[in-house]
Amino acid sequence: MSTTVDQGGRERRTPRGTLFALVSHTNRMQARSVIIWGAALGLYSAAMVASFTAIEGSADQLNQLMEAYPKGMLEAFGVTDLGDPANYLHSQFFGLAPLALSFFTILALAGALAGAEERGTIDVLLGNPLPRWQLVVGNFLATSFSLLGICAVVGLLIWGTAVLVDVELSLRHITDGVLNLWPICTVFGALALLCSALFHRRALAISIPAFLLFGMYLIDAVGRASEDLEDWRPASVFYYYGSAIEKGIDWMHFGGITLMALALVLLAALAFQRRDIYT
């Protein structure tokens, strides 16, 4: 345990020690959610992998059928070749997964500050020698770790199913696919944290990031389908998300989105440091 002794001879935990205690406690509290989210999304994605075996034999006919669809619509949903299990899984799961999984981070981080204020639990917690910035950063770190846990559960269920039903998906591609979910979901969680720090209302800390999440998804999806709106796509974080299960992780975009999340956390810490705590 990391401690220091103050002038009065009292032993005190170091800042690193309090941050560690906060993160490990938050992770323990989120463990159940990790299992539930991981199982729900993992079983859905596993079902998609299993369903690929049903269409695998008739992929050529399906692709011909797809050609009858407007090209823009197929591009909007990332459909290029349904005979390729990676593209099939991207169009059926990974393309949409951030819309669902971002709600894990949004709900968790909206509850960390504004939620704790509304429940009246924040005074008891901050009665401890815990700097405010640690409450922001610690919750972000813990939720990011939990998100990795969910991604791991989803990845294992996809891989296990692929092995079981003999679908050609490498562990490397699956890992890229699930890991690529992490930065985009983290950004919306960090935005919820910032809204929580700014407005101290849980409803706002959920609704603003949720609105932006769906708005950005639509901008990117419609931008892919329509040349008129294509110039808007870079304004959406989904533009930088790509299809890692097919093309591998674009580390430049991965790093950029992660930096964006960190910038939002920094702003949240600054905003929370300056304001009153409400109960």
Partner 1 sequence: MSLAIETLKLTKAYGRKARGIEGVDLAVEEGEVFGFLGPNGAGKTTTVRTLLGFLRPTGGRGEVFGLDIGKESVEIRARVGNLPGEFALEDKMTGEGLLKYFAGLRGVKDLGYARELSERLGAELHRPMRRLSRGNKQKIGLVQAMFHRPPLLMLDEPTGGLDPLVQEEFLDIIEEVKAEGRTVFFSSHNLAEVERVCDRVGIIRGGRLAAVETTETLIDKSLRHVVLTFEGGVDPKPFQDLSGIRDLKGDGNRISFTLYDDLDEMVKLAARHRLVNMEYERPSLEEVFLTYYERENGEG
- Length of the chain, please? 279
Question: By C-alpha distance, which of 27, 253, 2, 13 is closest to 140?
Answer: 27
CB distance 165 to 81 below 8 Å: no
Token pair for residue 56? 């695998």
Amino acid symbol at 247: K
Of 67, 68, 127, 228, which one interacts with partner 1 (CB under 8 A)? 127
CB of residue 148 to partner 1, shortest distance in Å: 22
Contact pick of 43, 62, 126, 212 for partner 1 (by CB under 8 A): 126
- Interacting residues of 151 by C-beta distance below 8 A, sequence separation 6+: 178, 179, 181, 182
Amino acid identity, position 142: A
Residue closer to partner 1 by CB (options 120, 215) is 120
Stretch that binds partner 1, among 37-45, 116-124, 187-195, 247-255 (CB under 8 A): 116-124
From 53, 64, 128, 226, residue interacting with partner 1 (rule: CB under 8 A): 128
CB-based contacts of 104, cutoff 8 Å, min separation 6: 33, 37, 143, 146, 147, 150, 185, 189
Q: What are the phi and psi torsion angles at 131 (to 5°)?
A: -60, 150
Options 53, 58, 123, 163; binder of partner 1; rule CB under 8 A: 123
CB of 121 closer than 8 Å to CB of 6: no
Q: Which of 54, 68, 70, 124 binds partner 1 (CB under 8 A)?
A: 124
121 is a contact residue toward partner 1 (CB under 8 A): yes
Q: Least CB distance from residue 127 to partner 1, whole Å?
A: 4
x/- contact string, 151-180, with partner 1 (CB under 8 A)? Answer: ------------------------------
Give least dist CB 129 to partner 1, A.
Answer: 4
Q: Give the one residue of 50, 130, 148, 229 binding partner 1; rule: CB under 8 A.
A: 130
**Is residue 131 close enough to count as binding partner 1 by CB under 8 A?**
yes
Which structure tokens are listed for 255? 């790093």
CB of 38 to partner 1, least distance (A): 19
DSSP code for 57: T
- Residue 29 as a binder of partner 1 (CB under 8 A): the answer is yes
* Token reading at 200: 């101290």
Identify which range of 3-11, 85-93, 155-163, 225-233 contacts partner 1 by CB under 8 A. Answer: 3-11
**Count residues contacting partner 1 (CB under 8 A)?**
32
Report in angstroms how near the CB of residue 277 gets to partner 1 at its nearest: 4
Whether the CB-CB separation of 5 and 17 falls below 8 Å is answered with no
Contact call for residues 269 and 261 (beta carbons, < 8 A):
no
Reduced to 3 states, what is the DSSP secondary structure of residue 195?
Answer: helix
Instruction: Please state the closest distance from residue 144 (CB atom) to partner 1, in A.
Output: 20
**Token pair listed for 158:** 């996809």
Residue ranges binding partner 1 (CB under 8 A): 1-3, 6, 8, 10-13, 17-18, 21-22, 24-25, 29, 119-121, 123-124, 126-131, 274-277, 279
